[in-house]
Structure 1
Amino acid sequence: MTLLPLAAEGEAASLAAFLQRLLKYDRAAAVRLQAAGEALAVFGRAPALDVVVVRVVALAEPAELDRTVSAGELLEAVEPAAVTVPAAVTGPAWAGMLPPRGGWRKQEGLPESGPLGLAVQAAVGEFKVRVEELPEDKRTRGELDRIGAEIWGRRLGSTALPLRAAHAAYVFGLLRPEASADLLTAGSWLRLRTPYGSVALRKAGGLPGLGVTPL
């Protein structure tokens, strides 16, 4: 049993909120944990948006760990001052293809976090309107995915980052009006970074199981 002391009570609350959001959309979600020094990175896959969402938690003591666990079991193990890491589970395919730790370079052209959030809200509204305009017999999964792919595949500003990355950051509480947002690249990966965490995805293709229906 591995016990990780947390740096502050707020760290426990933020980790629990992140896990609850994951479990809301995937009750069987798994997360990969990587601890290095006094930081614990929690990687989860945002269902339907085909991105990896990362939440970093500050630890009270240095630790070394790399384990894939059940998100539900991890949530149950979160206490105000520490988290007990559950036993490892067989990881999904995405957990073996995480973004690199280093080599990231900042890219220009990304709108600020406030406009990004507004763009996400406008896109969600557009999706709902376009679906409501469809005749009942045309509201198939294929048609919904086609509309979603068109909307969420749009690029943000002058960057290669698709709108679905900002949507994932918004859904998981990482994109907030008062916080900064940066775009980083490393090899074939893109990363939307805010003070609350990151969203990462490959420039071309994506992670296994692409879907585009809004969360």
Structure 2
Amino acid sequence: MTATPPLDLADTGEAADLTAFLARLLRFDRAAVVRLQAVPAVEGGGVLAAFGRLPLGSSGVLAIRTARLAGIERALDATVSAGQLLEAVDEPAGTVAVPPPVTGPAWAGLLPPRTGWQPVAEPAADRVFPELMAGVREFKRRTEEVPEHHRTRQVVDAIADEIWSRPLEVVPDLPLRAAHAAYAIGFLRPAGRLTVHRAGGWLRLSAAAGSVVLRTTDAPGAGLGLSPLR
């Protein structure tokens, strides 16, 4: 099998951002994998998208981090170990070597669509943040109230699911889970504007640093593809 040549990122800042994303992802799951897709850009260079799953409660949310490429010889589509990919990022050189592919989990075979996204809302982060923090405090309080000998993963997940499945007051179409995931992976900050889009059974919450995507219903025919979201 021919090895994939290292990817040249547009600058060292892109390498640092990718490193931070992978490190956060691995805090949730030390065995995490990422689906990588890279394509040339029309204006030159290219774009790399890394998809990772955040296991929040009994549900999962996909986090997407994109990086600009200085150039790319051919399109790339591979599922790799997040830990190996993190080790393969050379920040000073602004490059990333692509690790050998691994057998991916089910989520890696069904990514959000490239096109067809329709705008839903553009909430200000400072309106989302207080509601999010209230949910974080409630989760902490309610889990601490459960006696330790009853505080099983199933009980904790049930509390999480009840809280994070609530609709956001400022965007009722969007569950609080999306804001929580964006915050947990480092995308959501107290300032700035957010965008919410829908495509079929998918919802996407985008911030300056990246996006999170979740399925609200079965979305047959959603297809696979790179969604260069920043």
**Alignment RMSD (CA, Å):** 1.8
Aligned residues: 205
CA distance in 1, matches of 2:22, 2:171: 32
SS in 1 for 2:23: helix
Q: Is it true that 1:96 corresponds to 2:109 in the alignment? A: yes
Partner of 1:61: 71
Deviates more, 1:94-103 or 1:132-141: 132-141
Deviations 1:58-84 (A, max 9, x none): 101135111111101111110121111
Picking from 123, 138, 149, the partner of 2:135 is: 123
Match of 2:9 in 1: 6
Query: Structure 1, unaligned stretches of length 5 or more?
Result: 207-215
**Which residue number corresponds to residue 228 of structure 2?**
none
Among 181, 186, 191, the alignment partner of 2:194 is 181
Q: CA deviation at 1:115?
A: 2.4
TM-fit CA distance, 1:117: 2.4
Distance in 2 between the 1:179 and 1:82 partners? Answer: 29
Do 1:154 and 1:162's aligned partners in 2 also have CA atoms closer than 8 Å? yes
Q: Distance in 2 between matches of 1:46 and 1:205?
A: 19
Please report the TM-score for the alignment, with normalisation by the length of structure 2. Answer: 0.83
Change (3 A) 1:86 1:137: closer
Larger CA deviation: 32-41 vs 116-125: 116-125
For the 8 Å contact 2:31–2:83, the answer to whether it is kept is yes
Which residue, out of 113, 129, 143, partners 2:155?
143
- Aligned pair in 2 of structure 1 residues 84, 112: CA closer, same or farther (>3 Å)? same
1:190 aligned partner, one-letter code: L
Is 1:31 matched up with 2:34? yes
Matched letter for residue 27 of structure 1: R
**Which residue is equivalent to 1:212?**
none
In the TM superposition, residue 205 of structure 1 has moved relative to its aligned partner by: 6.7
Q: Distance in 2 between matches of 1:20 and 1:136?
A: 29
Letter in 1 for 2:142: R
Q: Which residue of 2 aligns with 1:42?
A: 50
Paired AA for residue 16 in structure 2 = A
- Is 2:179 the counterpart of 1:166? yes
- Give me the identity figure in percent: 53
Quick check: 92-101 or 54-63, which moved more? Answer: 54-63
Counterpart residue number, 1:213: none
What TM-score does the superposition give when structure 1 sets the normalisation length?
A: 0.89
Counterpart for residue 75 of structure 1: 86
1 CA distance for matches of 2:8 and 2:150?
53
| Counterpart Cα distance in 2 of 1:166 and 1:101 | 22
CA distance in structure 1 between the partners assigned to 2:100 and 2:69 by the alignment:
20
* Paired residue secondary structure (1:91): coil
